[in-house]
Copies of this chain bind each other. A is one copy, B any other.
Amino acid sequence: MATTTLPPLTKKDFQTDQEVRWCPGCGDYAILSAVQSVFPELGIPREKFVVISGIGCSSRFPYYMNTFGFHTIHGRAPAVATGLKLIRPDLEVWVATGDGDALSIGGNHTIHMLRRNVGLKVLLFNNRIYGLTKGQYSPTSEIGKKTKSTPYGTADRPFNPVSLAIGSEATYVARTVDVFMQHMKDTLKSAAAHKGAAFIEILQNCNIFNDGAWHDLTEKEVRSEHVVQLEHGKPLIFGKNRDKGIKMDGLELEVVQLGNGVTEKDLLIHDEHHPRASYAFVLAHMEHRPGFPTPIGVLRNWGDVPRYEDVVTTQIKDVIAKKGAGDLAKLLLAGDTWEVKA
């Protein structure tokens, strides 16, 4: 198409004149910057990008992206995006949402969009708090958390967004972290390459209402001990000196010390294309256990499921191919009719 002959797009092309209105130090800035630098690399003309969001700090995202953007209502972004995709499957539609937006009020639309495998890229900004409304707990807040609405601590067990997505038949599930810029960019690129619904949980810090939400995973001293990076075809290794690994024995994962006998060969080699959703489910659950690191990267990448919008539009094309394009006059005259003479 014409656009390919135009000068290649740059990060600047995706920035708006709108003043970015997040708190200084908010993790959202990094995510914005990552997306703005990945989009130009996708070789897609700018007018083909649409960013849809709900309501929340994270959902301000579209205002700062110089693409088509729609800041809808709380929790409904996946449904709006589904309608858009059904009419325009050719567009590159990204959804920016928060842990409250996507998993609390919007939970139903999120799981249905995933089971349908609508061709959307979903960026879930998980700061484990309601930022925009100034600090109530969210469905990802750790149990017992004291917040504005729970001065004595929450009583709710949180969702693990990744397990919920897998339980909803998601075909692509990944996790990255606001402060791991390169990892975030790589993950976004990998998601962009997935045809169907790509669900990306981005661990994000809200330095105002939930500062340090992810310190365990992000602080220099500890991160390498608490995070294991999943890389396709590579063993699961972590630790400051990359001296720890994860073994898989049946359903059981085990943290092992490398050396004296234990080698990389004994470790679980990550297969993001593993045919069983259970595989990703097992990985997703390790973090719930003491002594285990939190996995980041692509947990599941199952390419071979048709996109919802393609199935729907193909059905229409096939019918037209078979019956021919509908003729309105014929339609109106269908069924039992009779003449009344003048």
Contacts and interface: CB of A to CB of B under 8 A. Distances in A.
Given A107-B111, A156-B115, A276 B305 contact: no
Contact of A115 (B108, B116, B159, B252): B159
Interface string A270-287: 000000111101100100
Nearest to A159: B115
A248 interface: yes
A281 B280 CA distance: 11
Contacts of A92: none
Interface residues of A, number: 43
Given A107-B107, A108-B107, A116 B308 contact: no
Contacts of A315: 152-153, 155
A279 B308 contact: no
A157 interface: yes
A36 interface: no
Given A107-B107, A311-B155, A282 B251 contact: yes
Query: Of A108, A139, A278, which is in contact with the most chain B CB atoms at under 10 Å from its CB?
Result: A278
A115 B160 CA distance: 10
A168 interface: yes
A175 B160 CA distance: 24
A152 B312 CA distance: 10
Interface of A: 104-105, 107-108, 111-112, 115-117, 139, 152-153, 155-160, 163-169, 248-252, 276-279, 281-282, 285, 305, 308, 311-312, 315, 319
15 contacts: A104-B112, A107-B107, A107-B111, A107-B112, A117-B157, A152-B315, A152-B319, A155-B311, A159-B168, A160-B169, A163-B169, A167-B167, A167-B168, A249-B250, A277-B285
